[in-house]
């Protein structure tokens, strides 16, 4: 099968990762050209019967916010019990405008929204597991009960929440396909290239949206 002939079936899901105001231009953790994914995702989503959205959804005292660690600055890293954590600008606080889905996102047939990063002491880039690698969000069970075999992923940011979700999808036994042109990365100290290396090693496929027939 050539890459230009992928037709989504009832065993496929589109995971739309964190297309939220906080990650768009003007947001506190803006991803460069993040707004460009919105019209593309709106179009791609029409091809999928099953669409799941995710929202980064942090309490104000979340451990990933530099503001909650006196003497630190955004984008530096600290050691936490579950591993190294990048400290971020305050973003996507539960119920805030930053946490709202992008106003232009139009995916009315999406049936599930997964909110993640809800616990104060642990971050969650992945739609499947929190950053300890073992606390599940429930998404894997939901997808299995729906007979899903393959996850297509798009959204923000390629090198954090999209990559971690795609790799965890593989760990949970799903095929995983990242739609590159419908995603944008933060690229912190080479994190984008590293994320692609890690995704390739995990068996994640990389396509352009034009490959969806």
Footprint on residues 7-26 left by ligand VGL (CB under 6 A): 18, 23
DSSP for residue 102: P
| Per annotation, catalytic residue among 123, 159, 161, 168 | 161
- What's the CA gap between 169 and 174, in Å, rounded? 5
Please report whether residue 56 would count as binding Zn ion according to CB under 5 A.
Answer: yes
**Cα angle value 59/67/38 (rounded, 5°):** 60
In the annotation, is 161 catalytic? Answer: yes
Neighbour tally for 158: CB within 10 Å: 28
Nearest distance, CB of residue 213 and ligand VGL, angstroms = 28
Smallest distance, Å, CB 197 to ligand VGL? 17
CB-nearer residue toward ligand VGL: 6 or 122? 122
Helix (H, G, I), strand (E, B) or coil at 11: coil
Kind and range of the H or E run holding 151: strand 150-156
Angle at 181 between CA 177 and CA 64, to 5 degrees: 75
Query: Please, which residue, 164 or 174, has the CB nearer to Zn ion?
Result: 164
Nearer to Zn ion, 158 or 209 (CB): 158
CA–CA dist 200, 105 (Å, integer)? 29
The least CB distance from residue 28 to Zn ion, in Å, is 10
CA atoms within 13 A on the CB side of 22: 21
For this structure, is 118 an active site residue?
A: no
Residue 56 catalytic?
Answer: no
Distances (CA, A) of 194 to 81, 163, 188: 23, 10, 10
Tokens representing residue 128 in the block: 């499947």
Measured from the CB atom, the residue of 88 and 152 that comes closer to ligand VGL is: 88
Pairing of strands 83-86, 77-80: antiparallel
Residue 57 touching ligand VGL (CB under 6 A): no
Q: Which of residues 156-175 bind ligand VGL (CB under 6 A)?
A: 156-157, 160-161
Q: Of the ranges 1-9, 71-79, 96-104, 155-163, which one interacts with ligand VGL (CB under 6 A)? A: 155-163
Stretch that binds Zn ion, among 41-49, 65-73, 117-125, 184-192 (CB under 5 A): 117-125
Contacts of 8 (CB under 8 A, 6+ apart): 14, 47, 48, 49, 152, 212
Can residue 196 be called a binding residue for ligand VGL (CB under 6 A)? no
Region 79-118 residues binding ligand VGL, contact defined as CB under 6 A: 88
Catalytic residue set: 18, 116, 161
Q: Which residues bind Zn ion (CB under 5 A)?
A: 56, 117
């Amino acid at each position: 099968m050539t890459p230009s002939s992928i037709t989504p079936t009832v065993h496929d899901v589109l995971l739309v990762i964190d297309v939220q105001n906080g990650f768009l231009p003007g947001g506190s953790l803006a991803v460069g050209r993040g707004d460009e994914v919105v019209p593309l995702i709106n179009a791609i989503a029409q091809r999928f019967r099953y669409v799941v959205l995710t929202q980064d959804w942090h309490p104000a005292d979340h451990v990933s916010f530099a503001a909650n660690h006196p003497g630190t600055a955004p984008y530096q890293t600290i050691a936490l019990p579950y591993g190294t954590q990048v400290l971020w600008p305050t973003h996507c606080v539960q119920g805030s405008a930053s946490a709202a889905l992008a106003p232009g996102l139009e995916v009315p047939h999406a049936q599930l929204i997964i909110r993640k990063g809800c616990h104060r002491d642990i971050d969650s880039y992945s739609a499947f597991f929190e950053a300890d690698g073992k606390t599940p969000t429930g998404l894997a069970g939901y997808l299995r009960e729906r007979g899903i075999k393959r996850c297509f992923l798009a959204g923000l940011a390629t090198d954090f929440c999209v990559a971690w979700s795609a790799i965890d999808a593989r760990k949970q036994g799903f095929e995983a396909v990242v739609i590159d042109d419908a995603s944008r990365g933060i690229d912190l100290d080479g994190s984008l290239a590293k994320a692609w290396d890690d995704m390739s090693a995990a068996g994640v496929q990389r396509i352009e949206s034009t490959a969806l027939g």
